[in-house]
Structure 1
Amino acid sequence: MYRQAIETLKKWKNNPNRKPLIIRGARQVGKTWLMKEFGKSCFNHTVYINFDGNDRMSELFSGDMDVRRIILGLELEAGFKINSENTLIIFDEVQEVPNALKSLKYFNENAPEYNIVAAGSLLGVALHPGTSFPVGKVEFLDLYPLNFTEFLMATGKEQFVELLQKGDFAMITSFKTKYIDALKYYYFVGGMPEVVFHFSLDNDFNKVREIQKRILDAYEQDFSKHAPNGAVPRIRLLWNSIPVQLAKENKKFVYGLVKEGARAREYELAMQWLLDCGLVTKVSRISKPALPLKAYEDLKAFKLFMVDVGLLSCMSRLNPQTLLKGNALFEEFKGALTEQYVLQQLKGLREIDTYYWANDRGNSEIDFVIDNVNAIVPIEVKAETNLKAKSLKTYKEMFSPAVSIRASMSDYKKEDWLVNMPLYAIPVLLSQIK
């Protein structure tokens, strides 16, 4: 399985000023696999330390932060001498031993020659009170489920990825039925690595659902195991409301759909917990598309999306038979899966902040607005081939964007200010807005 993040890791390795790297991401998005694959492909040796239930390593890091002493302990654990030039040191489940996390600061300051990559499930929420986080002494890499191009590669369609990357839309359009079929599968299967791996072996949709349910059950168990006891019922209610929230015509998050009479302040902790562990993404409204977008963020109005489109389709109990009904899948739940899909692809694009725009009266809305450093780009998402774009025209009249994107099931077409991007080509969106 190929992950694009491996290229980022290679650049990190070759940077003479690198700092220890922390990989962030929800449970089961492939952090451990990525670190081990990086070690296998780019280093002669790998020292893999899993801190979960590892009393010996917990003891090692309970002493002083003398890096040479720690390295000696790691060498004894690994059974060989660590050469800083050709050895990758992996700290997995690092949140289980807060001092191991703290040690990254001292590696950065006193022994920057060592290649250290760390990760942990629920890293954002499991830090013990008083933990000294190495602010400014580490780098971060956010890892998400497989995007659509990674899914194509994992399912043996590398040539289709190459064609997308070349941007030969005349040829791409000739093979659009192949892309559309693959996109249907992606909506159902999603990008969780274990799910994609098993699907690539036998195309068994029942097995897909079985694994997805197991992943969702593991998330529910995390709620009980790691979240504050008082917050667990609200975390569950909020989490389980997401499919209903996204199935609305207006996908703005409404607390009343979590529980009748619910108020924002009652669910602040539950919301933050889900955000911190990477299970949800909040897309806030902006009142005005101007730089910087964050300055115009409306903190009270937002949409809430899940970590993965396949998990959303599982929670929504989407029937596999929907895959056979033409393009009905893309319109399912009022386009909920389609917006989730588009956001999932946008999140994989580095250095892009994503918001949505709605006017004050609420009768005009652009699904996503992104800042690609050079310009602010509105993206309207259509789950079908109907290309009537009243909101996009309103936005154009008000703000005169240099380029606008309409993502739909229609073929690629570029006009002077508007690019119609097929949904399956969203992963190469940036090539259209540079």
Structure 2
Amino acid sequence: MVHRILGNIVRNKLNTGKAIILMGARQVGKTTLVKELFKGSDEMIWLNGDELDVQNLFENVSATRLKYILVNKRYVVIDEAQRIKDIGLKLKLIADELPEVQLIATGSSSFDLANKVNEPLTGRKWEYKMYPLSFAEMVQHHGLLDEKRLLPHRLVYGYYPDVVNNPGDEKEILKQLSDSYLYKDILMWEQIKKPEKLLKLLQAIAFQIGNQVSYSELGQLCGLDSKTVEKYVVLLEQCYVIFRLGSFSRNLRNELKNSKKIYFYDNGIRNAIIADFSLSESRSDIGALWENYIISERQKKLEYDKMWRNSWFWRTTNQKEIDYIEEGDGQIRAFEFKWNPSAKYKTPKQFSESYPDSTFSVVTPDNMDEFLL
């Protein structure tokens, strides 16, 4: 079993007087992590928010009934908590009436869960995001050399735990995930009436990895207006399927100020959406796959290591570009991502002159461990 970085982080926050909220896409390992934490314990009660009787239990629950349900339980886990109506108020009720109980809630959509727990649990929760397996976790599992040898495979199939743990079944697992399960919460949301439009939008985004995107252009490709496209993109981001990078702009008049790029949290999901699992050695989009992989892995590292950085890309109207910018602790760090280690790249003069105190690095498969570990 692959050890998850969040395991120790969550374990160290148990019994500190605050609820623990664990969010991430479906099937990234949230349930497995929590079950491992309480393996063999009879002091834990597990409630699955996807089950109707659990939803009904919380419908009109009182503090008195909660005390009877949770008697002699030290830990209460509510899995898929976003499915429970007014979950924030229910968590607050448990926290107020049973302060000796450690609450752990997991959820697969922040638009439901975070919005409903933030106000009731202000200052009374630890909140963490969980992603598919990471490069760092796999290096810890079987060593740097083996994981780097598997890089061409990871670029195609990604890091979902089921995918990693079931070699040979990658395509079938990813097809099931990308068909509907990953978007279950979005499709249940009452305003999402046309799931086929959602898939077309994801396909359009998948083909534009590494490029700037326009909501109006995406809308033309999938038959939606630009406002609906933006709404869907936000929902997909809140379900941890994709994430956006904005454009970095400080000093130059010709810097793009309102542009955006969209990446997938997992390469395997991206490739499943466009039905392309061809070998990385033969792919024309290998540069885009590498860029998506390395940026998504960096987001995992920033989150798990609690590195407070803003992430951007940089581009000017005359097409000068840098793949990735990080800004934190008063320093600007610029990175270019090249799949071919021998590829030449020079920092755009406009950038180095405008930001003379910035640093610049080229990240390739040869030195990726410096960037991700």
Structure 2: segments with no counterpart, 5+ residues: none
Tell me the equivalent position of 1:151. 138
Q: Is the 8 A contact 1:48 1:89 kept in 2?
A: yes
Q: Hey, what's the Cα distance between the residues in 2 that align with 1:185 and 1:222?
A: 29
Tell me the equivalent position of 1:182. 150
Pairing partner for 2:84 from 97, 118, 139: 97
User: Which one-letter code corresponds to 2:130 in the other structure?
Assistant: L
Q: Is the 8 A contact 1:231 1:270 kept in 2?
A: no
Aligned residues with identical type, % of pairs: 21
Q: How many residues align?
A: 363
Asked if residue 192 in structure 1 is aligned to residue 160 in structure 2, the reply is: yes
Distance 1:389 1:288, change over 3 A: farther
Asked if residue 20 in structure 1 is aligned to residue 16 in structure 2, the reply is: no
Q: TM-score, normalised by structure 2?
A: 0.84
Distance 1:362 1:258, change over 3 A: farther
Structure 1: segments with no counterpart, 5+ residues: 76-80, 161-174, 291-295, 412-421, 429-434
Tell me the equivalent position of 1:241. 204
Alignment of 1:60-71 (within 5 A): 60=58, 62-64=60-62, 66=63, 69-71=65-67
Show CA shifts across 1:193-250 (max 9, x none): 1111112xxxx2xx1111111110123555433351346454333222122111xxx6
User: Which one-letter code corresponds to 1:236 in the other structure?
Assistant: L
Show CA shifts across 1:16-52 (max 9, x none): 3x410111111111111111112228x6632111122
Q: Hey, what's the Cα distance between the residues in 2 that align with 1:140 and 1:129?
A: 13
Distance 1:371 1:190, change over 3 A: same
Q: TM-score, normalised by structure 1?
A: 0.73
Shift, 1:109, TM fit:
4.3
Distance 1:57 1:125, change over 3 A: closer
Q: Hey, what's the Cα distance between the residues in 2 that align with 1:36 and 1:116?
A: 14
- The higher relative CO (CA closer than 8 Å, separation ≥ 6) is in 2
Pairing partner for 1:140 from 127, 139, 145: 127
Which structure features the higher share of helix residues? 1
Show CA shifts across 1:368-409 (max 9, x none): 112343522112111212442234554223202353221114
Q: Is the 8 A contact 2:47 2:54 kept in 1?
A: no
Pairing partner for 2:291 from 310, 314, 339: 339
User: Which one-letter code corresponds to 1:274 in the other structure?
Assistant: L
SS in 2 for 1:124: helix
Shift, 1:287, TM fit:
0.9
Q: Hey, what's the Cα distance between the residues in 2 that align with 1:390 and 1:366?
A: 10
Show CA shifts across 1:166-214 (max 9, x none): xxxxxxxxx6xx5542211221231111111112xxxx2xx11111111
Show CA shifts across 1:329-353 (max 9, x none): 6xx4151111111122111123444
Q: Is the 8 A contact 1:25 1:277 kept in 2?
A: yes
Distance 1:400 1:34, change over 3 A: same
Q: CA RMSD in A?
A: 3.2
Shift, 1:308, TM fit:
0.5
Shift, 1:297, TM fit:
9.9
Shift, 1:367, TM fit:
1.2
Distance 1:95 1:236, change over 3 A: same
Q: Is the 8 A contact 2:309 2:327 kept in 1?
A: yes
Query: Which shifted more, 189-198 or 208-217?
Result: 189-198
